[in-house]
Amino acid sequence: MSSEEQTSLQEQQFMQKINAEEKIEPKDWMPEKYRKNLIRQISQHAHSEVIGMQPEGNFLTRAPSLRRKAILLSKIQDEAGHGLYLYSAAETLGISRDEMIEALQSGRAKYASIFNYPALTWGDMGAIGWLVDGAAIVNQVSLQRTSYGPYARGMIRICKEESFHQRQGYDIMLTLANGTSEQKAMAQDSLNRFYWPALMMFGPHDSESAHSAKSMEWKIKRETNDDLRQKFIDQTASQIEFLGLEHPDKELKWNEERGHYDSGEIDWEEFHNVIAGNGHCNRQRLEHHIKAHEEGAWVREALVAYNAKKQAKQAEVA
């Protein structure tokens, strides 16, 4: 058999597995583009968890009650943990964490654009948990069925924790919305600023999405951007109503025939602008990450040196 014939046979077997809803595992053969596509998506997801610690970390030291501070700490701890699983999942595809971090810091790899919006008030801790984690869950629930085994299993674990994050965010909003008029205004302001960026988290319209078609065929992605976004719009409408806040989308209207809400158009210019690196916090987020990484260099070097000394001592004894 020629190598071309062999590749095409492997590709057939690979597609058969995908079509039979079997998981692809690290040692299985996979097309190079499938591998690259997954590395891009999983590392982007890992980076999002890690960069996402910054806007919330920004309010840890100002949390207005000890109870809220404890919850926020626990949430951020989960996020760092998610970052770890996801980096590990990506490593099974033959890339190292160092390489992924380098790609993040040089701007080649992306993270969720939502974190390029500033967290300005305590209300934003509510809006981020409720809307940002909420949008992430809608996407991640569908990714529990993604075709790559380590990613799918990671998602199952992550989803359980994310739903706690969303509930705590909504609980902050509920407390604010039922609080003083100033607190209610704080909640409304946070909702207004985070609603549209949360919708943008689902990515461009399906017709515009660069990676969508192939990702759907390979079952990396299980539902389209627009379908997932619609789910989120539908579930959020009643939650906003329950809070007694004004909906930021003035065109939102129930469509009986479709069984969904119709909504106003997203500001795609803003979307592309933030992705291109021109959002409020793009530079700040990367600089923060690079600074921490550089300041930690001597610690990582010490660790290596200490372990080497220890090994040398053990070798001497043996």
Partner 1 sequence: MSDTIKDATIEYAIRLGDDANVLGHRISEWVSRGPFLEEDIAYANVALDYIGRARMFYGYASELTNDGRTEDDFAYMRDDRQYRNLLLMELPKEDFAYSQVRQLFIDIYYSLFLPELVKSKDDTLAAIAAKAIKETRYHLRRSRDWVLRLGDGTEESHRRTQRAVDSLWGYTHEMFELDDTEQLLADSGIGVDITQLRDEWHRQVSAILTEATLNIPEDGWAVRGGRIGYHTENLGHLLTEMQFVHRSYPGCQW
Residues that bind partner 1 (CB under 8 A): 50, 53-54, 57, 60-70, 73-74, 76-77, 80-81, 83-84, 87, 122, 172, 175, 179-180, 182-183, 288, 291-293, 295-303, 305-306, 309
Longest dimension (CA), the chain: 79
- In angstroms, the CA 300 to CA 168 distance is 35
Torsion of CA 305, 94, 140, 82, to 10 degrees: -10
- Asked whether the beta carbons of 248 and 195 are under 8 A apart, the reply is yes
Closest by alpha carbon to 18, among 213, 216, 227? 216
Nearer to partner 1, 60 or 275 (CB): 60
- The minimum distance between CB 114 and partner 1, in angstroms, equals 16
The backbone region for 203, taken as left when phi is positive above 0, alpha when psi lies in -120 to 50, beta otherwise, is left
91: tokens are 């490593």
Question: For residue 307, how far is the Cα from the chain centroid?
Answer: 34
The H or E element spanning position 197 is: helix 181-200
Nearer to partner 1, 55 or 203 (CB): 55
Nearer to partner 1, 156 or 305 (CB): 305
- The minimum distance between CB 91 and partner 1, in angstroms, equals 13
Nearer to partner 1, 178 or 255 (CB): 178
Nearer to partner 1, 75 or 231 (CB): 75
Nearer to partner 1, 187 or 200 (CB): 187
Instruction: Specify which residues 262 forms β-bridges with.
Output: 253
CA 286-161-179 angle, to 5 degrees, is 85
Residue with tokens 């069984």: 259
Nearer to partner 1, 108 or 300 (CB): 300
- Asked whether the beta carbons of 144 and 126 are under 8 A apart, the reply is no
- The minimum distance between CB 56 and partner 1, in angstroms, equals 9
- In angstroms, the CA 220 to CA 273 distance is 27
- The minimum distance between CB 103 and partner 1, in angstroms, equals 15
